[in-house]
Structure 1
Amino acid sequence: MAKRAKEYKHVLIIMRHAKTEAFNAKGDFERVLTDKGLKQAKRVAKGLRDMGLVPDQIDCSSATRAMQTCERMLKVFGDAPKVDYYQDLYAKGMQAVFDMLAACKDKRHALLVLGHEPTVSLASQWLAGEQSDPGQLDLLNLGMSTAGVAIFGSNAPFRKWGTHEANLIAVLTPKEFEK
C-alpha cells in the first residue's frame, strides 16, 4: 500500500478523529478523546510514519476531539507538518473538505484532512475515481471508523482535484496499523 502511494506526486489522507466520550456537558464541540482514542491516534500516526506517509500539511477541525487527535499524532510526526485548524471542518460538511483542497498550495505533497463523520466518508466517496478498488469503495459506504483513514493519490496538485478524479488507495482502521 505504501508502495502504491509513492507512485503519486500528491497523497491525501482523510481521517476521522479518534474515539471520544459519548457526551460532554459543554456540548458536542467540546467532546474529548477517551484513553482508547489517545491510543488510536498514536497507533495511526506511527503506522503512517512507518509507511513514509507523514503529511507536510494537516488541516484539522477545531473541535476539541479533532485537535486532541492531531496533537497526539504530532508527538509521533514531530515538527514536519504545518497545522491549521478550521471551524468549517466541523460545521460546513463535505464542502469544507473541497475548500481545503482548493486552497492547498502546489508545493504540498502529502495532506491530511482531519474531521468528522459523515463528512469524511462522504467526501472520500466523492473524491474516489473510477480506477478505485470497488472493495475499498464499499468500505466507505459503511462510514469511517474512529481514527479511520482513507488514502488517495493523484499526480495533479490538490487544488485541481475534482469529484471522482483521485485514486482511492486504501481505507484503513486503527487495528490495521497494529504490528
Structure 2
Amino acid sequence: MTTITPPPSRIYLLRHAKSGWAEPGQHDFERPLDNQGFAEAEIVADKAADRSYLPETVISSTAVRCRQTAEAIRRAVSEMIEPIYIDELYNGSLGTYLAILEGQKESQSVMLIGHNPTMEELLEALIGSDQMIATIPGGYPPAGLAVLDYRGFSAGTAAAWTLVDFLTA
C-alpha cells in the first residue's frame, strides 16, 4: 500500500478518453481523441459535474488526447479551472504519478489526467488490488474516473484511501 497524506484529501484519477490510432508518421504523443473518445470525455465530465466533483487543481499529461480530455472537464466542471500540463505524466512511472500527487499540498482536491497502465497501477497502489479488481475487473477503461477520499489509517485497515465512486461513459 502507498501512503500519500492530505492535502489533498480527495483525488480524482481520470484516464484519457478513447483515442484514435496513429496516422502514418504521427507520434503516439500526438494521437487525438476519436469521435467516440470526444463523446466519452463529455459524458464523464458531465457526470462529474452532476455529482459536484469539483477538483481545485487539474493536472494533465501534455499528450494531445489528455489535453482534450482535460478541456472537456474544464467546460463541464468549471471554466475557471486552468489545467496544469506536465510532460512527465506521458510515459510516467508509478513513482512519477505518486510524486506529483504528493506535491499537491495547496489543494484539497486534485484531478490527475493520465495514461494506462500507470493510472491502473496508481489506483491499485492507493486502494489495494482487491478493491480495484472488484471495481474494474476488466482493467481501467478509457474515460474512467476514480474518486478517492482519504480515510487515514486505523486498526484493521490496509489502505488510507478509499474508492467512493467510479464513473465511466
The residue aligned with 1:111 is 110
Aligned length: 156
Is this contact kept in 2: 1:62–1:85, CA < 8 A? yes
Matches within 5 A, 1:118-129: 118-128=117-127
Between the aligned partners of 1:57 and 1:155, the Cα distance in structure 2 is: 20
Between the aligned partners of 1:152 and 1:135, the Cα distance in structure 2 is: 12
The residue aligned with 1:16 is 15
Is this contact kept in 2: 1:61–1:67, CA < 8 A? yes
Does the C-alpha gap of structure 1 residues 152 and 127 become closer, same or farther in structure 2, counting only changes over 3 Å?
Answer: same
Q: Which amino acid aligns with 1:121?
A: E
Between the aligned partners of 1:94 and 1:136, the Cα distance in structure 2 is: 16
The residue aligned with 2:5 is none
> Structure 1 stretch 70-79 or stretch 134-143: which is displaced more?
134-143
> Structure 1 stretch 163-172 or stretch 78-87: which is displaced more?
163-172
TM-score (norm 1): 0.78
Between the aligned partners of 2:73 and 2:47, the Cα distance in structure 1 is: 10
Between the aligned partners of 2:163 and 2:72, the Cα distance in structure 1 is: 26
The residue aligned with 1:148 is 144
Matches within 5 A, 1:65-76: 65-76=65-76
* Sequence identity (%): 25
Is this contact kept in 1: 2:57–2:111, CA < 8 A? yes
Q: Deviations over 1:23-66 (max 9, x none)?
A: 23321111001111111111111111111112110110001110
Q: Deviations over 1:74-124 (max 9, x none)?
A: 111233334211111112221122111111024x12211000011111100
Between the aligned partners of 1:38 and 1:80, the Cα distance in structure 2 is: 21
The residue aligned with 1:160 is none
Does the C-alpha gap of structure 1 residues 99 and 140 become closer, same or farther in structure 2, counting only changes over 3 Å?
Answer: farther
The residue aligned with 2:64 is 64
The residue aligned with 2:168 is 173
The residue aligned with 2:30 is 30
Between the aligned partners of 1:35 and 1:20, the Cα distance in structure 2 is: 8
Q: Deviations over 1:119-151 (max 9, x none)?
A: 111100000159xxx555433453211101111
**Larger helix fraction of residues:** 1
Name the SS of the counterpart of 1:144 in structure 2: coil
